Every structure is written in C-alpha cells, then in structure tokens.
C-alpha cells in the first residue's frame, strides 16, 4: 500500500503521470484541480466557491480546499492507498494534511517532485489550451500567476517535505513514457 504526493509546477506532468502511477500501484488518484473543475462544470456550491480562483490561477482558499480533501480521504477507496495530486500547495495545507493523516492514523511514504524549466511549462500549457480549452491555460496572466504562486507558496512546502526526508525529485523533461520510467525507478528504489 502506498500513500504519496505528487508535486510540481503547472504543466510539469502531475496529472499525466498520476494516472499512470496509480494504474501501476493500484491506488486512487485524488486531484484537487480535477475535483474543482468537475464541480465548476456541475455548477455545485463548491464549484461556485472555487471558480473565480481557478480561472484566475489563484489558490482556492485553504478552508475550502482542506475540507474537500478531508472528505475525499474518508472514502473507502482511499483506505488502500492514494496519490494526492496538487495538494498540499502551501505550508498551511501541509499542517492541515498532517492533522488529517493523524486522525486516520496513517503516514506518507513518499513525495514525488516533477521538475521542468519555465519555457517548457509554458509551451505545454499553451498546447493544452488549444486541445482541451481549459480557461486557466488559455489566459496568459493566469498561467503566469500559477507559476508565480508555485515559487512563493509551493516551493517552501516542498522544502518542508525535503527536510522530513520524504522528497524524491524526478526530471519531468522528455517524453511522457520516459518520465514514467524514471518515476517507476525512483519508486522501486
């Protein structure tokens, strides 16, 4: 059973690789971004709360996000392992997750960081905007804001997991299969 996080800037391949990792390990992928997008599409109350932030590339308020993750972690399918994609995204979410895991009496096995340079990230997001039409990918200001927030909010939380000895860094450049192979090597090791 594996309980893990995948972290990295927008466009680093988190969502793409999560699906593959979860298939290989037989665990469930929980993506905060996907949950927000599904709720926005479905017009739920959570979607209405999140939409303005997601569209602008801002972080959805911690109180909303933490509540949503705690609820999702209580589902039966998460009892046999999970991969959290896109959460936590700042130090305050790390504290909230620590408390959730303590209540569940479980701990994290590994935190996987995907790296890629800014030019590649922007290229990937721009391409996805053409293919999938995600609002936050189509807006240059929103992309810039997401990358900025990664540096100011998310990088310190990654440093926290590094200090706990949980972090494994994987180069996210190259084609999707190559990156998956690198990740699988790291997870086996």
Give the tokens for residue 137. 């990918």
Residue labelled with tokens 């180069």: 171
Out of 13, 22, 68, 72, the only residue in the binding site for ligand B4P (CB under 6 A) is 13
Give the tokens for residue 184. 């699988």
Are 124 and 172 contacting, i.e. CB atoms less than 8 angstroms apart? no
The reply, when asked if residue 42 is annotated as ligand binding, is no
53 lies in the binding site for ligand B4P (CB under 6 A): yes
Are 55 and 139 contacting, i.e. CB atoms less than 8 angstroms apart? yes
* Alpha carbon distance 39, 104 (integer Å): 26
> With respect to ligand B4P, which residue has the nearer C-beta, 1 or 159?
159
Out of 10, 94, 158, 183, the only residue in the binding site for ligand B4P (CB under 6 A) is 10
124 is catalytic: no
Dihedral sign, CA of 55, 57, 58, 63?
A: positive
Three-class secondary structure of residue 21 per DSSP: helix
> With respect to ligand B4P, which residue has the nearer C-beta, 1 or 181?
181
128 is catalytic: yes
Choose the catalytic residue: 3, 72, 89, 124: 89
Binding interface with ligand B4P (CB under 6 A) = 10-16, 31-33, 36, 53-54, 57-60, 65, 86-87, 89, 93, 124, 128, 136, 146, 175-176, 179
Active-site residue numbers? 14, 89, 128, 134, 146
């Amino acid at each position: 059973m594996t309980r893990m996080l995948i972290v990295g800037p927008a466009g680093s391949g988190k969502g793409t690789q999560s699906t593959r990792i979860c298939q290989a390990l037989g665990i469930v992928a929980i993506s905060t971004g996907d949950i927000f997008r599904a709720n926005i599409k479905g017009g739920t109350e959570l979607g209405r709360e999140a939409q303005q932030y997601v569209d602008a590339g801002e972080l959805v308020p911690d109180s909303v996000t933490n509540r949503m993750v705690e609820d999702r972690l209580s589902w039966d399918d998460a009892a046999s392992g999970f991969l959290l994609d896109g959460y936590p995204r700042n130090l305050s979410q790390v504290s909230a997750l620590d408390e959730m895991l303590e209540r569940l009496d479980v701990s994290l096995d590994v935190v996987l960081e995907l790296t890629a340079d800014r030019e590649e990230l922007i290229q990937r997001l721009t391409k996805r905007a053409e293919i999938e039409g995600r609002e936050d990918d189509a807006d240059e200001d929103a992309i810039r804001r997401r990358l900025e927030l990664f540096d100011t909010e998310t990088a310190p939380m990654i440093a926290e997991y590094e200090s706990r000895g949980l972090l494994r860094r994987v180069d996210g450049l190259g084609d999707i299969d190559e990156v998956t192979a690198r990740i699988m090597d790291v997870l086996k090791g």
